[in-house]
């Protein structure tokens, strides 16, 4: 099994928590290769990551890239760093591999990843991914997608590296950024959705449960997706991958994700287990609990 992350040093803790969750839940006997694409991870943090071998043996590989390679790629949000674009170089950074599972580091894996890794990809299926449900059709049209198509979240990608290399992926990405730079909103995700249009294999949302599925639970009947309501509700109840999308992460006390506690559970398995919330105060206690109350009322009312 080959798994890749893109991260800078400030995200080392979150790499560690995501990795701890993977190692804790994989089927017996699997020792994954872990590729961390980075502009630099300190020796101290590398030692901390290596210490996770006490959970299960794995094989870490650090691939250092230059930020100069991404100087023309726009950043939109304060909570997103240039490391989000590192995944775009994976077909060329891993020439020895035909397939890799890319994972963001603002997520935890709560059940075995093997079924996702074993997903078959045809030559014309460049990525396997799960759909978003909160992307507006007008925005999709602005980046060259059909309003009736679905848009995938790029935080979990089973990447057909051989197919991407064979189809001039790098140049296609650069061309998109030059042409659509002014309308890009979801950074690398927009790039990937445009470039991989027509070459996506849709996977169950349980493999990438983004916050929108929880936040908009009462509106699911009105939102377009490739999934049945039953499939979505099963994903919410039994996710394999919980992806903490949005600005409020589970390492923030103010996080409004009902599964934030799982991040803290896996954090306890890492050298960062002494971490304390920097924003734990009455104001955030009140705001997040009011949010959960409103969500509960919406569910009861069926809105």
Of the chain, the percentage scoring pLDDT greater than 70 comes to: 97
Q: Print the SS3 string covering the chain.
A: CEEEEECCHHHHHHHHHHHHHHHHHCCCCCCCEEEEEECCCCHHHHHHHHHHHHCCCCEEEEEECCHHHHCCCCCCCCCCCHHHHHHHHHHHHCCCCCEEEEECCCEEECCCCHHHHCCCCCCCCCEEEEECCCCCHHHHHHCCCCCCCCCEEEEEEEEEHHHHHHCCHHHHHHHHHHHHCCCCCCCHHHHHHHHCCCCEEECCHHHCECHHHHHCHHHHHHCCCCCCHHHHHHHHHCCCEEECCCCCCCCCCCCCCCCHHHHHHHHCCCCCCCCCCCCCCHHHHHHHHHHHHHHHHHHHHCC
Residue range 7-31: mean pLDDT, rounded: 96
CA–CA separation, 184 and 9 (whole Å): 26
The 10 Å Cβ neighbour count of residue 268 is 12
| pLDDT higher than 60, residue 12 | yes
- Its pTM stands at 0.92
Residue range 106-115: mean pLDDT, rounded: 97
Mean pLDDT taken over the chain: 92
| pLDDT higher than 90, residue 153 | yes
CA–CA separation, 126 and 61 (whole Å): 24
Query: For residues 289 and 295, is the Cβ–Cβ distance under 8 A?
Result: no
Q: C-alpha angle with apex 260: 255 to 266, nearest 5 degrees?
A: 140
| pLDDT higher than 80, residue 303 | no
| pLDDT tens by residue, 28-47 | 999 999 999 999 999 999 99
| pLDDT tens by residue, 69-78 | 777 776 676 6
| pLDDT higher than 80, residue 152 | yes
Query: For residues 5 and 105, is the Cβ–Cβ distance under 8 A?
Result: yes
| Higher-confidence position of 296 and 287 | 287
Query: For residues 57 and 22, is the Cβ–Cβ distance under 8 A?
Result: no
Segments making up each domain of the chain, as ranges: 2-301
CA–CA separation, 255 and 260 (whole Å): 7
| pLDDT tens by residue, 166-206 | 999 988 998 988 888 888 888 889 999 999 999 999 999 99
Beta-strand pair 152-160/99-103: antiparallel
Instruction: Supply the pLDDT for residue 127.
Output: 98
182, burial (CB in 10 Å: exposed 0-12, middle 13-18, buried 19+)? exposed
The 10 Å Cβ neighbour count of residue 140 is 19
In this predicted structure, which of 66-75, 124-133, 161-170 has the lowest mean pLDDT?
66-75
Instruction: Supply the pLDDT for residue 78.
Output: 62
Nearest CA-CA partner of 217 in 107, 99, 134: 134
Residue range 250-256: mean pLDDT, rounded: 95
Residue range 14-20: mean pLDDT, rounded: 98
Instruction: Supply the pLDDT for residue 84.
Output: 81
| pLDDT higher than 90, residue 15 | yes
Residue range 242-250: mean pLDDT, rounded: 94
Q: Which CATH number fits domain 2-301: 3.30.70.980, 2.40.110.10, 3.90.550.10, 3.30.450.20?
A: 3.90.550.10
| pLDDT higher than 80, residue 284 | yes
Q: C-alpha angle with apex 23: 52 to 43, nearest 5 degrees?
A: 30
Residue range 44-59: mean pLDDT, rounded: 98
Instruction: Supply the pLDDT for residue 252.
Output: 96
Residue range 258-262: mean pLDDT, rounded: 96
Spatial CB neighbours of 70, under 8 Å, sequence gap ≥ 6: 82, 85, 86
């Amino acid at each position: 099994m080959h798994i890749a992350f893109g991260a800078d040093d400030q995200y080392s803790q979150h790499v560690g928590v995501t990795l701890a969750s993977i190692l804790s839940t994989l089927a017996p006997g699997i020792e994954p290769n872990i590729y961390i694409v980075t502009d630099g991870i300190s020796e101290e943090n590398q030692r901390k990551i290596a210490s996770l071998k006490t959970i299960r043996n794995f094989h870490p590989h650090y691939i250092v890239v230059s930020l100069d390679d991404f100087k023309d790629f726009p950043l939109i949000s304060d909570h997103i760093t240039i490391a989000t674009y590192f995944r775009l170089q994976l077909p060329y950074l891993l020439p020895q591999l035909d397939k890799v599972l890319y994972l963001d580091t603002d997520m935890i894996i709560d059940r075995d990843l093997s079924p996702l890794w074993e997903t078959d990809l045809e030559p014309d299926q460049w990525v396997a991914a799960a759909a978003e449900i909160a992307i507006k059709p007008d925005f999709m049209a602005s980046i060259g997608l059909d309003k009736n198509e679905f848009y995938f979240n790029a935080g979990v990608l089973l990447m057909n590296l051989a197919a991407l290399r064979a189809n001039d992926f790098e140049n296609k990405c650069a061309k998109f950024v030059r042409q659509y730079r002014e309308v890009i909103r979801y950074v690398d995700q927009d790039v990937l959705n445009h470039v991989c249009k027509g070459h996506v294999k849709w996977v169950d949302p349980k493999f990438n449960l983004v916050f929108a599925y929880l936040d908009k639970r009462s509106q699911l009947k009105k939102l377009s997706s490739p999934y049945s309501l039953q499939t979505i509700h099963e994903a919410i109840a039994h996710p394999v991958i919980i992806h903490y999308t949005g600005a409020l992460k589970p390492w923030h006390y103010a996080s409004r994700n009902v599964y934030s506690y799982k991040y803290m559970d896996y954090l306890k398995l890492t050298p960062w287990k002494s971490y304390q919330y920097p924003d734990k105060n009455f104001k955030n206690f009140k705001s997040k609990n009011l949010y959960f109350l409103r969500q509960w009322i919406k569910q009861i009312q069926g809105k």
